[in-house]
Amino acid sequence: MSNEEKEPEEPEQSSDELIAETPAAERKAPDELSVEEIRELQAISAEFRDVSQERDKLVARLQRVTADFHNSRKRMERELHTRIRYALEGFVKELLPVLDNFTRAMEHAESAREFDDLFEGIKLISEQWHTILERHGVRPIDSVGKRFDPLYHEAVSVAYEPDKPTDSVLEEAQKGYLLNDRVIRPAKVVVNKAPEEPKSSEEEEPEEEE
């Protein structure tokens, strides 16, 4: 060990501790303080108040930055989840016309019934195709008999069947599809609409006389 050993530093004492250790005889009453001492105390008090206010501002700013960071992270996580969830949307849109052709060929073969083997082959392909799409979250929109909904349907024409509810879908011209919960192609449908009744002569507005 060296001869010059550092003495342990004494912990700083607060003003209250210093006052408490000061002998009572040496303490000054407030009315015994000089003007300079009073001004010095006022300056210290003002400086302490300024430092406290600056500390409060920094704490509030840190809280806002922390909240903004957490909100940004949650927003990025949601956006990433959405991108992953719907990453196949463009690919699925390209496959749907092929599926439409399979469906039309199957319907034609079923009505003709001339090529049973061909029909069974097309039917098998169609079933496999639907199974693959369903595995990736693609589902057909159930439209026939449902009320027309512009979020899921696109009206291509109207017809009238009095035994069916008004604004219900009578048939599909082209099937619509969902990718998970998002519409990637609305169904093109025929909507049930009653024909407009012609106005009677009494309801027609009379022509204005010149």
pLDDT of residue 135: 84
Whether the per-residue pLDDT at 118 is higher than 50: the answer is yes
Provide the whole-model pTM. 0.50
Whether the per-residue pLDDT at 13 is higher than 50: the answer is no
What's the pLDDT band for 187 if we cut at 50, 70, 90?
Answer: very high
Q: In what order do the strands lie in the sheet with 153-159?
A: 153-159, 187-192, 169-174
Q: Give me the mean pLDDT over the 185-198 stretch.
A: 88
With vertex at residue 127, the alpha carbon angle to CA 87 and CA 131, rounded to the nearest 5 degrees, is 35
Domain extent listing, the chain: 33-85, 89-192
Nearest by Cα to 176 from 167, 166, 187: 187
Structure tokens at 85: 């969830």
Q: Is 92 helix (H, G, I), strand (E, B) or coil?
A: helix
Whether the per-residue pLDDT at 20 is higher than 60: the answer is no
Whether the per-residue pLDDT at 32 is higher than 80: the answer is no
pLDDT of residue 18: 46
| 89-192: CATH superfamily | Head domain of nucleotide exchange factor GrpE (2.30.22.10)
- Listed ranges 13-27, 78-92, 109-123, 161-175; the one with the highest mean pLDDT: 161-175
With vertex at residue 112, the alpha carbon angle to CA 107 and CA 118, rounded to the nearest 5 degrees, is 70
Residue range 48-95, pLDDT digits in tens? 888 888 888 888 888 898 888 888 888 888 888 888 777 778 777 877
